[in-house]
Amino acid sequence: MIRRLAIIGVGLIGGSLALSLRRSGAVEEVIGCGRSAENLERAQALGVIDRGCHDPAEAAAGADLVVICVPLRAMRGVFAALEHAVEPGTVVTDAGSVKGSVVEDARAVFGTPPPWLVPGHPIAGTENSGVEAAFAELYDRRRVILTPTPQNPQDAVERVAAMWRAAGAQVVRMEADHHDEVLAATSHLPHALAYALVDALAGWDDRQEIFEYAAGGFRDFTRIASSDPAMWRDICTANRDHLVAALRRYQQDLGRLTDALAAGDDEQVLRVFENAQEARAGFLRLLEGRS
């Protein structure tokens, strides 16, 4: 049981965490911290938080657990605000989509990452942002990846893991750099591709007709291009090296497919499509096996 939980940044991610922990009776009191008084009032009205404040240090005071759910670009500022405010026994985690940059931010502020900071990343989200988009089921059967530092005592990691399990998630551990490599492929690359496609089509002469005659497949394919642009700029630039590598690699694969199509090597086109369909069927079995 978490007596007092502090959520720094009350949007989709932090708000859904609070709602899911309330649902399972795993938390007594939720303090929300954010810059916008209006957003904190909305969060309180929605039953997401019990009270709000603007200062991370104030929110962390007396909390057992602090979860930082701010955009990556705001991480360093929150760390600085927490530096002298984290009390003995308090554990802090974050929900940033890139873990190498979070550890770098911690190094920049603290020198050595503090033992009480356990980096983490819930693999969940929707294309919507803000506390109004929060819902208690967001983490059900989803993965949360923790990337503990060498400084973390085992029990700090376990307390963060227990919180995410209470929120409905399955917790795994990974090296931060490996996390960033895997997520570059599976999340950051698709987002970049979808943004690039919609941006590209919007620049073509017949864009009006292109969107006019797009159907359900296009809507699904481009859904992630409705995600918050500044947040995704942060994610992509924070994971720059892995994402650039993934993009270059994908471009080579796509170039080969294009060349095969242009050259009339229709067997090769079919092989790529068949292989993809089969791999996606395996992915769906994996998802189903989990739920």
Contact positions with its own copies (CB under 8 A) in 116-155: 123-127, 142-143, 145
From residue 160 to residue 199, the character string flagging contacts with its own copies as x (rule: CB under 8 A) and all else as - is: ---------------------xxx-xxx-xxxxxxxxxxx
CA 278 and chain centroid, separation: 27
The count of other CB atoms within 10 Å of the CB of residue 137 is 14
What's the min distance (Å) between Cβ of 17 and its own copies?
16
What's the min distance (Å) between Cβ of 102 and its own copies?
17
For its own copies, give the closer residue by CB, 66 or 136.
136
For its own copies, give the closer residue by CB, 87 or 211.
211
Q: Which residue in 47, 62, 77, 229 binds its own copies (CB under 8 A)?
A: 229
Identity of the amino acid at 201:
L
CB-based contacts of 65, cutoff 8 Å, min separation 6: 2, 4, 5, 6, 90, 91, 92, 93, 159, 160, 163
Question: Phi and psi for 123 in degrees, rounded to 5?
Answer: -85, 75
For its own copies, give the closer residue by CB, 45 or 281.
281
Instruction: Tell me if 37 contacts its own copies by CB under 8 A.
Output: no
CA-based nearest residue to 231, from 95, 60, 100, 44:
95
Instruction: Tell me if 99 contacts its own copies by CB under 8 A.
Output: no
Instruction: Tell me if 253 contacts its own copies by CB under 8 A.
Output: yes
CB-based contacts of 49, cutoff 8 Å, min separation 6: 7, 10, 18, 30, 31, 32, 40, 43
Question: Considering only 16-24, 51-59, 61-69, 272-280, which stretch makes contact with its own copies by CB under 8 A?
Answer: 272-280
CA-based nearest residue to 134, from 67, 38, 43:
43
Instruction: Tell me if 276 contacts its own copies by CB under 8 A.
Output: yes
For its own copies, give the closer residue by CB, 143 or 165.
143
What's the min distance (Å) between Cβ of 36 and its own copies?
21
Instruction: Tell me if 3 contacts its own copies by CB under 8 A.
Output: no
Instruction: Tell me if 216 contacts its own copies by CB under 8 A.
Output: yes
* Lookup: tokens for 39: 């957003």
CA-based nearest residue to 122, from 266, 197, 10, 17:
17
Site size for its own copies, by CB under 8 A? 92
What's the min distance (Å) between Cβ of 109 and its own copies?
21
CB-based contacts of 140, cutoff 8 Å, min separation 6: 20, 168, 169
For its own copies, give the closer residue by CB, 126 or 151.
126
The count of other CB atoms within 10 Å of the CB of residue 141 is 12
